[in-house]
Structure 1
Amino acid sequence: MSSASTEPREAVLEREIRLGGPPLDLQRRIHWDGQLKVLLDINDMAIVINPESGEDEVYQPDSGLWVRACGTAVPIPGGVAVTDGSTIQVRRGRPTRVSNWRGHSTPINVLMAAPGPMIVSASRGDGIRFWDAESGEQVRIALVNDDTTDLSWYIGLDGRVRVASAGQGGVLRIWDPQLPAPALVHLTKQVHTRGFSDRVANWDLLDRRALIDTLAETLRPDFFGTGPTVLTVEGPWGSGKSSLMELVKAELSDPAPADSSSKRLTVARADRLLRRDRREKSTEEPRPKHAVVAGFNPWRHQSSEQVWAGLARAITDTAMRAMFGDDRAACERYWFTRNVERVDRRHVLRELRKRILSPLLALGVLGFGVSLLAAVTKLTAPSWWLVAIPAAPLVCGIVQTAWRHYRTPASRYLPGELFAGPALSEPTDPSVHDPYYHARSGYLYLVQHDIAELLTDLAHHGEQLVVMIDDLDRCTPRTTAEVFEAINVFLSDTFPRTRFVLGLDPIVVASHIDHAYRELADAKVVTHPDDPSPGWTFLRKLVQLPVRVPRMTADKVDRVLRAQLGAVHNDEKHVRVSEYDPPPAIPDPQLPAPYSVADSLVIQIEQHPQVREYLRQRLVAQPEHTVREEKRLINVWQFYLRVLASSDIDQACHLVVLAEIVTRWPAYQHLLRGNWQTLADAVTDDLAWGTAIAKIGFKYPDRQAAENLRTVLAGCDAQAVAGLANRLF
């Protein structure tokens, strides 16, 4: 049987998730829990990805929990499908009936069975094709240039099948074949959520696409070199600044240059570079067309020297990747060419020539001396020995020296800092590679000279640097001041145009600046009349475009809950859960169909409408709506649900309140311990409540926290919450 004559429609590409490298294996969970597993060729690690939120965690592979989802032979209803070049060969029944499904123009790499029933196939350069497992017709096609090597499927939040593909390009793609939702199954399970980390999201969970696109467009270079130089992405901790900056970075990032096969810098080439005239600097004004992004986290550095060193290293590495990709030979040649202009060329050239000399040359010369001594003393040995004895090591020494000169890399004989980055002084110690060593000998000079020239070369290459500095509000006041001083250096006229994007909480950073410069005598004089302190005035003068991160509204709470916990169960739309047995090692056409659908519905406790609505209410009631705080509450809630092994709806709702109190008032947990019942008994009586909190240890400054705690307890079953707290704590 061949595919239908009508051209199949294209499958919809929902999202792309960039992996840390090419996948070895793309797998799915035997008991579906909303995650895909990607086994990467990076220290045999496995990354578990939530395809709806894009979040990932790193786990060690565990073959007992996972099963490979695809291969070159898969079972189908009543038979088996195998690959035969660019054809899918289907074998059914007894005696075996064979039919051929044709549609690919290149050999098929991988085959997979999926709900529908459906067969998914992928071939090199010919995309992915979706087949009806019963009729053999092509129902969808997905055009992708990658050499797809792995496939997997899962059920989306809308109950319909999704297909995940990955290849050597290191990109995980989620496809929607736009097929109807499969039949329903009904099961009841406890909570399956295992918590969430605080890692940066790699897709737009909070619907900030317009803001992301506008920021990216603002940061792209233009012909006239206009636009703000220093931008800030402002918001409190946990508001999504880092995720927003990463999404903007992804919009700006261009593919790295293709790896080239540059020749290594041999001794002969280094010799010529050391003897030639100094290079002429280009006077042409550069016109960069693309932005290249360097990321820098100053809070990882503890001293001012390390801040300068870390910033210079981040800029250097980014610029080299933009200009040369992974071409190590080109990088070595670039830095050697740059560094020979600031060292004693004659000294380096003498050292290079001295170090490549073979020790056999000295042995040969010594042999000639012995021969000459023998001739003078008129020894009776045959005369040909007088030549042969010293000639052998001399010839070997000449050959070895010539080999070193023309074939071996110069980096073997010269200090490594000449080839790895800007050298701060004449190299004397080849073991010096740590940038923090250089910090002690003048990284400010390096930034003002070598980095400026590097950025000029980058501009001539067609790239403009954008430096993203995140988590500035985590730094100490001194480190914050050092970062701003570094930015001021880059803003001088001697530097090529460089853009800065700072992720910060302005309240914290202004306080840091006030603390760092608290001894300035004219602090009050320079303060802007509309600013409460000099720190705010400093930000006013430095930042040309402050961008506030939008607050998280109630509708965004629903969106985040849906992405993290799945769709809410209702009677109109259900999430189907079904499982395929793994394909057999030897295909057997007589095997039964690999999938069977039960007649029950899976309702995880976190997908129950009553529980989800209660979660939503408590999250909306929070004074600070951030994804970070929401994750903390859900992490505590699901953890204690697992401790109790509970699937009771009412108990799950009570635990929501308990998790809110634990995460919202961590500073008072030592006071609450053992006193939950006292507070629950007093929550409805003003006098009893005042007596209870005073007895527990709440002070006068804590009165607002105590009142907010009472509001939360008054809005729930306080007795039930106290009972759970006494049981768990």
Structure 2
Amino acid sequence: MPPNSATGDGLNRRALLVSVGFTAGPDPEGSEASWPRLPFAAAASAALGSALEPFGYEPRFVADLAASEVSKQIEDAITSTPKDGVLIVHFVGHSHVTVSGQLAVIGADGQKTRTTEYWVDLAADHDVRLLLLLDTSHAGRAVRSSEQLPNSNIWVIAGADDDHAAFSGRFTAAVIEALRELAADSGDPYIGYPALVPRVADVLDRLVVEAQALPQRISYTRLDLLRPNEFFFFPLRGTRPASPNARWEVQTRGYGDRPTFDDHLRREALWRSLADLIEPTATTADDQDSGPTVLVIDGPWGTGKTSLAGLARQHLEATERAAEQPDTKPGPLRVRDADRALSGKGPAVWEPAMMRHAPAATTTPPIISVRFDPWAHQTTEQVWAGLTRALLDAVEDKLLPESEESTRRYWFQRNISKLDRMALRRSLRRATISPLLAVSALALLVPIIAQMARSPDDYNLLVFTIAGSNIAVLLTTLALLGSIGHTLWRYFRRPAADFLPADLFVGPIPADATSAEKPAADAALRDPYYRARSGYLYLRQHDVFDVLTDVEKAGHYVVVYIDDLDRCSPRTTADVFEAINVFVNASFPVTRFVLCLDATVVVAHLDEAYPSLGGQRKFARPLDPTPGWSFLRKVVQLLVPVTAMAPGRVEDLLDDLLRSRPDVPDPVSAPDTRPSPAASEQPAAAGAPAPALIDQGSAGDSVVVRQLEALEHHPRVRASLAARAAAFPQLSAREVKRFLTTWQFYVRVFARVDPLAEQDDVVERAEHLVLLAELLVRWPAAQRLHSQRVDGRLGLSLLAESAGDDQAWNQTLRRLRLTGPHHDDFATGVRAILRTPEGLAMTKRAESVL
């Protein structure tokens, strides 16, 4: 059945993956020899299943079944595969050669299944497209049965020849790697059989050499190399055959540089292992074997350091962790309680029972994650200010919410130990006294003196006769008693925060801030750089120590993530490491640090920050080229290098990036009168049907309904993007994003500069612009030089004309000032591009926009 060009190939893809790693009982000949265990079998099967999923398979796994059940599973899979289906059967385990020389595999009971020849005949009888992958010894014997059916749709690729063994699942690993490499390299709708077989053989040879293992050679159905177009097992990922009426428009809008927390680079093993080491345990505190305290993710810019740390952090934060509510929820801190605390005679206003804490028996203690951006700070004081502020903000979010009374009590109790208690107590009492008291006292004296100077008169008040002077005294006395009562009410009932500086209750304050004794005290405390200007660290080290000690007692653990340290000044870099060195000191509660940096840049900064150590070789270890490396070695316990992205990962990254798009717009109901395939304003979502566009001719012409397709998903364009991205020497997700963003931009530019009616021309131009995007992104330092006009000609055009002649090429490079070691890679790479027809076509197109 040929592929269906309108809806993909229309084939129903199935995969049965059988692994038998544990085999009991004697062998089929009845000997007492035991079968060796194959611990890799299930893992190999699972890895192949993951590799098949992007090709449209939903693998079904069968593990460690008896021989009869293995036969039944395979036979049921063959007979149930529909006519429009393809089936992959993979087996990894032991095998047995029968007396007649046929191959049978061994089940978990030590018995043999039906022969592979039987399965091949069964598939031929049911007209099933079958690919049999056999990772077992003597598997080549299964190949002969498939070659006896030259007109069938059955292929066998075996991990060994007729008389030799297969080892350690290497054949399965070779198939997986070959599929990934070919998916990135192929420009066809399918991975062809003639391409797959030699690639598997090459990869297997490489794996054998790397493992220094015994030789292992594959066997395969050879006759089917003559009919490669029937091999529909592996469609090119991220594409589908184009509709003949497709209209191709770019739909991606490019990408920013914010860190992503999707594992585009398939580094799950790395970030999960990092998370395992960061994860606190019940014995984390101060144990020497509790894991590294300072972990560094090291790599050049753009290699995914931030994303790797973010994935580990995201995983840790997603883990369910138990945290109990405080045992005691206190009420507001009254003036009376604050006054007694300031006197030193009253009870503590805060107790550990008022803070949230983890259950004593928990195996997953809560984590407080802190993010610190050092590049926002310049001086030593500001670095400490920023780091401790970030720490305290994170702690407050988890344990000391600003809205809770326990938080106000906590900071009040911490702060009064550093202040002049008596001065603060006097200030509190003065502020507590009712403002009516002084008025009432004055009002009491004035009428008494006035009435004494006047003749006394009597007044009838209800049933009482009272002298006028006494009435005045009575009224002022009542006012005085009221003001005294108001004062007492404020003292016993009002919160102390109403009468003291607010900073006392929201965080640590400097010891020389004496509240109301200094008129400008509040304003100074609100200035974030007050302490820096006064020569006082924003939050002193012992303030942080006290807070971290309380955090540890509450069963919580702190992890600090520091990023972009390599973008800071040398002095700031050194200050951050000095601060970290204080934290990792044994006297501090355990605090883990995860740093993302380029070690080469950071070491250069440390060497510059400590120039006096530059000539002191005795400071550096013998294997360290500079003291900066020795400093880094001292502070860091685990350094994880992150290298450039492997070319084989390009296709995975393109899949992830180009499939994330907004929803599909409604189909266009009006005739499409646009003269060019300009960029769609609202891209289609992955996997959804594209909107229809109606091309209406003149009266009497037929109406052509065109299907709007994403240009970046065209097989040829997708293959060009993957191939050219893989050619970048320092490949990273950031570079691939810049590459795609630049490409889509120029596709949009040309759609307006030079509208094309023929869709094949649109696709061809998009392929040429892939080369232009590579030129601009891969060698940005040469952009102005090759884009300059010389005698009215674009420099790139001059390079294209001279690319075929060595002497002319060198002359043109000198003319454009593209010589020197820093342009060697440009000269080599661009010349290789310009020698191709596609490169020449790209140059002609670039004339109109550069």
Change (3 A) 1:641 1:264: farther
SS at match of 2:368: strand
- 1:628/1:259 Cα in 2 relative to 1: closer, same or farther (>3 Å)? farther
Kindly indicate whether residue 234 of structure 2 is the aligned counterpart of residue 198 of structure 1: no
Q: What is the alpha-carbon distance in structure 1 between the residues aligned to residue 253 and residue 656 of structure 2?
A: 14
Q: Using the TM superposition, name which of 287-296 and 470-479 deviates more.
A: 287-296
Counterpart of 1:299? 375
Written as runs of structure 1 = structure 2, the 5 A alignment for 1:213-228 is 213-222=272-281, 223=283, 225=287, 226-228=290-292
Counterpart for residue 695 of structure 1: 815
Structure 2: distance between partners of 1:644 and 1:397: 83
Corresponding residue of 2:434: 358
Once the two structures are TM-superposed, the CA of residue 682 in structure 1 deviates from its matched residue by 1.2
> What does residue 309 of structure 2 align with?
245
Among 340, 345, 349, the alignment partner of 2:416 is 340
Structure 2 counterpart of 1:274, which letter? L
Question: Within 5 Å, which residues of 2 pair with 1:495-644?
Answer: 495-520=588-613, 523-566=616-659, 575-577=687-689, 601-644=707-750
Distance 1:271 1:716 in 2: 88
When residues 185 and 439 of structure 1 are mapped into structure 2, their CA distance, relative to the original with a 3 A threshold, is: farther
In the alignment, the residues of structure 1 paired with residue 614 and residue 252 of structure 2 have an alpha-carbon distance, to the nearest angstrom, of 56
Q: Is the 8 A contact 2:384 2:538 kept in 1?
A: no
Number of the residue aligned with 1:23: none
CA contact (8 A) 1:185 1:576 kept: no
Q: Which moved more, 1:247-256 or 1:614-623?
A: 247-256
- Give yes or no for contact 1:219–1:291 (8 Å, CA) kept in 2: no
Cα 1:383–1:292 shift into 2, 3 Å: same
DSSP-derived class of the 2:594 partner: strand
| Aligned counterparts of 2:295 and 2:500: Cα–Cα separation in 1 | 42
Which residue does 1:708 correspond to in 2? 829
CA contact (8 A) 1:265 1:329 kept: yes
Alpha-carbon distance in 2 for matches of 1:555, 1:702? 27
Structure 1 spans left out of the alignment, 5+ residues: 1-51, 53-180, 581-597
The answer to whether residue 500 in structure 2 is matched with residue 414 in structure 1 is: yes
**Are residue 659 (structure 1) and residue 659 (structure 2) matched?**
no
What whole-Å deviation, never above 9, does each CA across 1:244-300 have from its counterpart, x for those lacking one? 111211222367969997644343442343234485999xxx989333221111111
For residues 506 and 557 of structure 2, the distance between their equivalents in structure 1, rounded to whole angstroms, comes to: 22
Question: What does 1:75-154 correspond to in 2, within 5 Å?
Answer: none
Instruction: Report how far residue 499 of structure 1 moved.
Output: 1.4
Cα distance change of structure 1 residues 608 and 325 upon mapping to structure 2, 3 Å threshold: farther
Structure 1, residues 659-715: CA drift from partner, whole Å, max 9, x if none?
A: 111122222222112312111111221111111111112233344132232223334
Number of residue pairs matched by the alignment: 524
1:303 partner amino acid? T
Q: Deviations over 1:304-337 (max 9, x none)?
A: 2211110110111112222134644332221111
Aligned partner of residue 243 in structure 1, secondary structure: helix
Which of 652, 656, 680 is the matching residue for 2:800? 680
| TM-score, length-scaled by structure 1 | 0.66
Match among 541, 554, 560 for residue 448 of structure 1:
541
Distance 2:808 2:715 in 1: 36
For the 8 Å contact 2:690–2:707, the answer to whether it is kept is no
Compute the displacement of 1:366 (Å).
0.5
Q: Deviations over 1:464-484 (max 9, x none)?
A: 211111111111111111111
Q: Does the aligned pair in 1 maintain the 2:323–2:366 contact within 8 Å?
A: no
Shift of 1:551: 3.5
The separation in 2 between residues aligned to 1:697 and 1:441, in whole angstroms, is: 54
Name the SS for the 1:699 alignment partner: coil
Once the two structures are TM-superposed, the CA of residue 506 in structure 1 deviates from its matched residue by: 0.9
> Is 1:726 equivalent to 2:847 in the alignment?
yes
Cα distance in 2 for residues equivalent to 1:506 and 1:304: 21
Cα gap change, 1:481 to 1:437, in 2 (>3 Å) = same
Superposition deviation, residue 398 in structure 1: 3.7
2:284 aligned with 1:212: no
- Partner residue of 1:669? 783
| Cα distance, 1:256–1:293 mapped onto 2, change above 3 Å | farther
Matches within 5 A, 1:173-184: none
Query: C-alpha separation between the residues in 1 aligned to 2:845 and 2:497?
Result: 67
Give, in whole Å, the separation in 2 of the partners of 1:402 and 1:655.
82
Note the C-alpha offset of 1:523: 2.8
Alignment of 1:394 onto 2:462: no
Q: Counterpart amino acid of 2:731?
A: H
Question: Aligned to 1:435, what secondary structure does the other structure show?
Answer: coil
Q: 1:360 to 1:207 in 2, by over 3 A?
A: same
AA partner of residue 471 (structure 2): W
Say if 1:621 and 1:548 are closer, same or farther in 2 by CA, change over 3 A: same
User: Is contact 1:202–1:243 with CA below 8 Å preserved after alignment?
Assistant: yes
Q: Which moved more, 1:250-259 or 1:381-390?
A: 250-259
Q: Could you tell me whether the CA contact under 8 Å between 2:385 and 2:539 is conserved in 1? A: no
8 Å contact from structure 1 (residues 528, 537) kept in 2: yes
Deviation at 1:190, TM superposition (A): 1.4
Pick from 286, 292, 297: which aligns with 1:233?
297
Moved more, 522-531 or 372-381: 372-381
CA distance in 1, matches of 2:536, 2:650: 46
Partners of 1:566 and 1:600 in 2: how far apart? 22
Within 1, Cα distance between the matches of 2:827 and 2:815? 13
Higher Rg of the two aligned structures: 2
Q: SS of the counterpart of 2:312?
A: helix
Once the two structures are superposed, what CA deviation does each residue of 1:449-473 show, in whole Å capped at 9, x if it has no partner?
Answer: 1111111000001012111111111
Once the two structures are overlaid, the 10-residue window that deviates more, 527-536 or 645-654, is 645-654
TM-score (norm 2): 0.57
- Give 3-state SS (helix, strand or coil) of 2:301's partner: coil
State how far apart, in whole Å, the 2-side matches of 1:407 and 1:417 are: 21
Tell me, in whole angstroms, the C-alpha distance in 1 between the residues paired with 2:828 and 2:691: 50
* Aligned-residue offset at 1:385: 2.9
Q: Distance in 2 between matches of 1:579 and 1:388?
A: 91
CA RMSD of aligned residues (A): 3.2
Structure 1 185/565 Cα, relative in aligned 2: closer, same or farther at 3 Å?
farther
The change in CA–CA distance for 1:443 and 1:612 in structure 2 (over 3 A counts) is farther
Match of 1:111 in 2: none
User: Following TM superposition, by how much is the alpha carbon of 1:416 offset from its aligned partner in structure 2, in angstroms?
Assistant: 2.4
Equivalent residue number for residue 95 of structure 2: none
CA distance in 2, matches of 1:652, 1:347: 77
Q: Secondary structure at 2:612's aligned position in 1?
A: coil
**C-alpha separation between the residues in 1 aligned to 2:531 and 2:244?**
64
Q: Is the 8 A contact 1:364 1:393 kept in 2?
A: yes
- Judged with a 3 Å threshold, the aligned counterparts in structure 2 of structure 1 residues 506 and 440 are, in CA distance, closer, same or farther, namely same
Of Structure 1 and Structure 2, the greater strand share is in: 1
